[in-house]
Amino acid sequence: MEEISLNSKKIAEYLNEGKRFDNRKPEEFRELSIETGVSLNAEGSARVKLGNTDVIVGVKLATAEPYADSPNKGNFMVSAELSPMSSSRFESGPPKFPVIEFGRVLDRGLRESGFINWEALCIKPGERVWTVFVDIYTINDDGNLMDAAGIGAIAAMKTAKLPAYDEETKKIDYKNPTENPLPLNNVTPIAITAYKIGNKILVDPTREEQDAATARVTIGSSDGIISSVQKGEETPMTPEEMGEAFDLADKAYKEVFKNLEKQIK
Partner 1 sequence: MTEFKRMDGRKLTEMRPVAAQVGIIPNADGSAMFKSGKTIAYAAVYGPKEHHPRNQRNPKKGTLRCRYNMISFSVNDRIRPGPSRRSTEISKITEWALAPALMLENFPGMVIDVHINIIQADAGTRCAGINAAAMALAHAGLPMNDMISSVSAGKLDKTLVIDLDKAEEDFEEGEGPTDIPVSMTHSGKVTHLQLDGKINKEELKEAINMAKDACEEIYKIQKEALKNVGKLIEGDKK
| Minimum CB–partner distance for residue 172 and partner 1 (Å) | 8
CB nearer to partner 1: pick between 141 and 147: 141
Please provide the distance, in angstroms rounded to a whole number, between the alpha carbons at the two ends of the chain.
Answer: 44
Contacts of 253 (CB under 8 A, 6+ apart): 190, 192, 221
Contact string 10-39 vs partner 1 (x = CB under 8 A): ----------------------------xx
**Applying CB under 8 A, does 83 fall inside the site for partner 1?**
yes
How far, in Å, are 17, 43, 55, 122, 126 from residue 67 at the CA level?
A: 54, 23, 31, 11, 8
Residue 176 engages partner 1 in binding (rule: CB under 8 A): no
Nearest to 221 by CA among 79, 133, 108, 132: 108
Out of 23, 41, 169, 186, name the contact with partner 1 by CB under 8 A: 41
Determine which residue in the list 84, 98, 125, 236 makes contact with partner 1, applying CB under 8 A.
84
Q: What's the min distance (Å) between Cβ of 250 and partner 1? A: 31
* CA–CA gap between residue 44 and residue 57 (Å, rounded): 8
Pick from 4, 85, 100, 225: which binds partner 1 (CB under 8 A)? 85
| C-beta of residue 141 within 8 angstroms of C-beta of residue 89 | yes
User: Using an 8 Å Cβ cutoff, are 55 and 148 in contact?
Assistant: yes
Residue 175 interacting with partner 1 (CB under 8 A): yes
Q: Which is nearer to partner 1, 139 or 226 (CB)?
A: 139
**Residues 193 to 252: which contact partner 1 by CB under 8 A?**
none
**Residue number, 11 or 156, with CB nearest to partner 1:** 156
* β-pair partners for 241: none
Distance of CA 192 to the CA centre of its chain: 9
CB of 182 to partner 1, least distance (A): 14
**Which of these, 28, 129, 23, 144, lies nearest to 70 by C-alpha position?**
129
User: Binding of partner 1 at residue 152 (CB under 8 A)?
Assistant: no
AA letter at 215: A
If one asks whether residue 141 binds partner 1 (CB under 8 A), the answer comes out as: yes
Number of residues this chain uses to bind partner 1 (CB under 8 A)? 33
Helices (H), 162-238: 207-212
Please report, as residue ranges, which positions from 49 to 68 form the binding site for partner 1 (by CB under 8 A).
52, 54, 56, 58-60, 62
Contact set with partner 1 (CB under 8 A): 38-43, 45, 52, 54, 56, 58-60, 62, 79, 81, 83-88, 92, 94, 133, 135, 137, 139-142, 174-175
